[in-house]
Amino acid sequence: MYQNSSESTGAGGAGLTGLLRPHVAGFSAVLVLQVVGAVAGLAPLLAVVELGRVLLRTGPVDHGRVWAVVAVGAAGLLVRLLLTAASAGIGHALDDRVQLAFRRRLAAHLGRVPLGWFSRRRTGELAKVVGEDVSAVHPVIAHAPGELVSAFAVPLVSLVYLVAVDWRLTLVTLAPVALAVALVPLMMTPSRLREQEEFDAAMGRIASAVVEFVQGIAVVKAFGGAGRAHRRFRTAVDGFVDAFLRWVRGISGIAAGMQLALSPPFVLLVVLTGGTALITHGAMAPADLLPFLLLGLGLTAPVAALGHGFDDLQAARRALGRIRDVLDVPPLPEPVRPVAPRGHRVELRGVRFGYGTGSDTGSDTGSDTGSDTGSDTGSDTGSDTGSEVLRGIDLVLEPGTLTAVVGPSGGGKSTLVALLPRFFDPTGGSVLLGGVDLREIDARELHRTVSFVFQDVRLLRASVAENIALAVPHADPDDVVRAARAARIHDRVVRMPRGYESVIGVDAGLSGGEAQRISIARALLADAPVLVLDEATAFADPWTERAVRRVLAPSADRTVLVIAHRLETVADADTVVVLEDGVVAERGSPDELLARDGRFAALWRSHRSALVDESREDVTR
């Protein structure tokens, strides 16, 4: 899977076909079994016809022939039963396998697209692509070919037979089918299609109104906003009902006409009228009417199948479109011949970055992740999406130094630090590690070298040990415990029902501060030479704060880049970078910058007077 991802870059469709290729033989078998089974199903009907011919013949009845006919009919039924059962069984087994392959493929691809792409997508919608949309596609791949082919093969066989019996009555029998087909274009007029689209859109609005209603429930309750959220919800529902009724009104007459034309009573009526006319005029033997009564109804099958499968087919086509959209997103390119970095010096050269550029069309603007986290990398851009967030950054992080980034919100801090673990590639300039462009470095090598402590802590619903050892899957349990101790979470873990094996969210819930300490333990265990850290929520409690400080403690072999939120951190830094409007406004050691009396000095003073002095006084008093 890893290899074929690069060749299918930008060609999701080709990738999907590739997934199906190994199963072609299986699908063909399903198809053949289904068609043969369906055709065999004609045998009992033909047996009735033959029975009629034998019985209605003047003169003595040939008993042997009667029983032979009955036997053939019964055998046909048996064959049909066996073959359809076999095709259903094999078909489903294949289905499941194909679905799994699709889902794995999607997951693998999503693990490689630039992270910036995620911040513009709703997580729920993406999860729907992997889940529901794949499920919606499968009947089309697995069943539709067989159903469609039998829907045409069986009537075709019947048609040949019926024409041989009486071509005039065959034409009469086809009249309802022709009528139904004539109605089809009426269902596809632009206004009908527009109504269908409105209907889909209205359905989508309900879903998002619900999500908003539920996710914002605390605010809704606290602000008596229930009315508003509720209203929005109701408006969406009313809109949907209206769209639905419009759609039904537009389509019901035609649909009813079509259904009636294909309904057994109507077809029988047509056949009997034509048959009676032919028989009374002596143009046809009465026994010849029987095949039309029995097989004639089957001629409607193709149209009925098309009509019946049409909704599913449409839904599947849309689902497939969404799957392709995801697979078509170009992944962050992987180097063909990775270069190993020499040393851990990090250098940014003329780095520019804009979220609006690149692969992202940015059609929808929203992000699940932003709703319950602090500010994530995507939201740092604020509302000025499309413009550049970083406009030419030059920066060197020497090994063993602590560099603090400060500056107003929206200045590009989160984006800057996200470039180091290569969540994004810069749109201009380059980021180098050990003299090598990040784009030239093997992903695993990069992840071993750069670790990241997030402002937005994500713990997995997995054991504490697994969560801590996320970046070091085969970590020694002792090392895990050591990291947990250093991050001051060990005592809490030991108190959990199953200790380090407790599953987070199942065996034990963690507070924000505790979750953060887990993520700090994670970084400590990874022990990467370059550490990127965002201090934002690092104040959940004193213990967490201490753990953070431990990570930040100067160390000869660790390079640290931190978005600083505390003056202590800033004061300890070797270099302070003031980032404003995507450019470095000031840089230097804290003392230099204070002496310069520029922006940093102003920031320092306002912050100091506002917060720190008093608290220092308090404790030291």
Partner 1 sequence: MIRLLLRVLGHEHARPVRRTVALMTVTAVVEGLSYALLVPLLRALLGGAPADAWPWVSAFGAAVAGYAVLRYLSDLAGFRVGTTLLRGAYDRLGDHLARLPVGWYDEGRVGEVSVLAGRGVMQAMSVIAHLLAPFVSAAVTPLTIVAVMLAVDWRMGLAAAAAAPVVAAIQVWAGRATAAADAARADRDRESTGRVVEYLQAQPVLRAGGRTAERFGLLDDSLREVQRASRRSTLSALPGALGLALTVQVLFTALLVLGAHLALGGAIGAPEVLAVLVLAARCADPLLSLAEIGGRLRGARSALVGLDAVLRAEPLPQVPDPVRPDRHDLEFDRATFGHGDRTVIEGLSLTVPDGQRLAVVGPSGAGKSTLLHLLARFHDVTSGAVRMGGVDVRAMSTEDLAARIAIVFQHVYLFDGTIEENVRLGRPDADDAALRAAATAARLDEVVERLPDGWATNVGEGGALLSGGERQRVSIARALLKDAPVVLLDEVTSALDPVNEVAVHEGIERLVAGRTVVMVTHRPRTARHADRVVFLDGGRIVESGGHDELLRGGGPYSEYWEIAMAPSAE
Binders of partner 1 among residues 549 to 588 (CB under 8 A) are 549-550, 552-553, 563, 565-568, 572
Say whether residue 412 binds partner 1 (CB under 8 A): no
The one segment of 161-169, 341-349, 506-514, 585-593 that binds partner 1 by CB under 8 A:
506-514
Say whether residue 398 binds partner 1 (CB under 8 A): no
In DSSP terms, which residues pair with 402 in a beta bridge? 560
Task: Please say which residue, 314 or 350, places its beta carbon nearer to partner 1.
Answer: 314
Can you tell me which of 24, 59, 63, 556 binds partner 1, judged by CB under 8 A? 63
The one segment of 152-160, 168-176, 318-326, 503-511 that binds partner 1 by CB under 8 A:
503-511
Q: What is the DSSP code (8-state) at residue 502?
A: P
- Are 602 and 405 a contacting pair, CB within 8 Å? no
Q: Is 597 helix (H, G, I), strand (E, B) or coil?
A: coil
Residue type, 23: H
Site for partner 1 in 311-370 (CB under 8 A): 365-370
d(CA 502, CA 487): 18
Site for partner 1 in 591-620 (CB under 8 A): 603, 606-607, 610-611, 614-616, 618-619
Say whether residue 426 binds partner 1 (CB under 8 A): no
- Are 358 and 116 a contacting pair, CB within 8 Å? yes
Q: To which H or E segment does residue 363 belong?
A: none
Task: Please say which residue, 230 or 317, places its beta carbon nearer to partner 1.
Answer: 230
Task: Give min distance, CB of 100 to partner 1, in A.
Answer: 4
Question: How would DSSP label each residue in 518-574?
Answer: HHHHHHHHHT-SEEEEE-TTTTSSHHHHHHHHHHHS--TT-EEEEE--SHHHHHH-S
Say whether residue 383 binds partner 1 (CB under 8 A): yes
- Are 10 and 252 a contacting pair, CB within 8 Å? no
Residue type, 457: V
Site for partner 1 in 233-252 (CB under 8 A): 233-234, 237-238, 240-241, 244-245, 248, 252
Can you tell me which of 4, 6, 7, 61 binds partner 1, judged by CB under 8 A? 61
Task: Give min distance, CB of 260 to partner 1, in A.
Answer: 5
d(CA 34, CA 82): 10
Task: Please say which residue, 1 or 394, places its beta carbon nearer to partner 1.
Answer: 1
Site for partner 1 in 458-497 (CB under 8 A): 458, 460-462, 470-471, 473
Task: Please say which residue, 342 or 616, places its beta carbon nearer to partner 1.
Answer: 616
Question: How would DSSP label each residue in 368-419?
Answer: HHHHTSS--TTGGGTT-TTSEEEEEEEEEE-TT-EEEEE--TTSSHHHHHHH
Site for partner 1 in 524-553 (CB under 8 A): 526, 536-537, 539-546, 549-550, 552-553
Q: What is the 3-state secondary structure (H, E, C) of 317-347?
A: HHHHHHHHHHHHCCCCCCCCCCCCCCCCCEE
Can you tell me which of 203, 305, 583, 594 binds partner 1, judged by CB under 8 A? 203
Give the CA angle between residues 189, 195, 198 to the nearest 5°: 145
Task: Please say which residue, 82 or 394, places its beta carbon nearer to partner 1.
Answer: 82
Site for partner 1 in 93-122 (CB under 8 A): 93, 95-97, 99-100, 103-104, 107-108, 110-112, 115, 118-119, 122
- Are 518 and 489 a contacting pair, CB within 8 Å? yes
- Are 334 and 6 a contacting pair, CB within 8 Å? yes
Task: Give min distance, CB of 392 to partner 1, in A.
Answer: 22
Question: How many residues belong to the site for partner 1 (CB under 8 A)?
Answer: 192
Which of 216, 211, 202 has the alpha carbon at shortest distance from 122? 211
Say whether residue 161 binds partner 1 (CB under 8 A): no
Site for partner 1 in 69-88 (CB under 8 A): 69-70, 73-74, 77-78, 80-81, 84-85, 88
